[in-house]
Structure formats: C-alpha cells, structure tokens
Structure 1
Amino acid sequence: MSNAEKKNTQSYLERLKQQALSQENYGGAIKYDQANMQLYDCPECAAPRAPGDGLTVCAYCGFKFMTVKLSDGIHIKKEN
C-alpha cells in the first residue's frame, strides 16, 4: 500500500470517528435516573409486597391489604 492510500484510509477513518462523535441521539439527550424499587411492607408482619403484583392479601400472614365489594354497575350486577 502506498503512502497516499494509507493517508486516504486514515483520513477516511478519522472522518468517520469525527462524524460518530458529533452525531446526536435520535431520542434527544440521555437522562440518567437513580434505580429504585417501590415496595410496600405489610403492617402486620413487615413482609415486602410489590405494588404491581395486584396482591390483596399478604402471602406470609394473610393480612388483607384491601377488600373489594362489588356494587351494581353498568355491566356487573351484584348477586344476592
């Protein structure tokens, strides 16, 4: 390879590197957030419960986090 070809190749690589460094992300600037988990503890036994699980009863002690009562609605009718 001659010096001219080496110089051309190096300049091409340098231009690619420069272009990669100067281009912006498609979604804009990257936001860095602290990782976290939202856990709620059972008031009876202090066992953790994730809010996204949809649990209504503690798996360890049986404490009821919420009680659901159905009432007459448009599509759901309570049964007597």
Structure 2
Amino acid sequence: MNFNIYLDDETGQQLTLAAQDSGENRNALIRQAVAEWLARHAKPQWPEAVLGFQGIPDMPAFEASRDQLAPPNADPLA
C-alpha cells in the first residue's frame, strides 16, 4: 500500500540524516515508526478462547462459597 506524506523541511532533513546513519532508506524508517506507533497504541484484546468461554456447567457459582470465608482479623488499610 502506498501513501504520500508531507513533512516540514526540518523533519525531512532529520529523516534523511537518520536514514544515512542507519543504512536504511527513508521508507523503511517510516514503516518501522508507523509499526511501532501502532503496536504502542493498539487496543488490548482478549483472546477468542477467553471471549468465547461459557463457563463450566457443573461448577458451582463462585459466590456460593463466600459465606464459608473467614472475615479478616483487622482492616489491612486502617
């Protein structure tokens, strides 16, 4: 896929120098920068196995055992 981007002169010059220093071409640096940005800003998604999990039919509900829990001796945040 091809895109045209417009950079100000200073940014374009910095990109050219960075490309020369790295031995990569400008397009490669731009591809890498976009890929890194997308990876950092991607919305986390649960795997399909988790999203589709329907529970275990014969397992009692978690709340059913709460009355068996002993209360804490003291408030740990007090």
**Is the pair's TM-score, using the shorter chain for normalization, greater than 0.5?**
no
Give the structure, 1 or 2, with the largest relative contact order (CA under 8 Å, sep 6 or more).
1
Task: With the length of structure 2 as denominator, give the TM-score of the two structures.
Answer: 0.26
Instruction: Work out which of the two has the higher radius of gyration on C-alpha atoms and give 1 or 2.
Output: 1
TM-score by length of 1: 0.26
Q: Which has the higher strand share?
A: 1
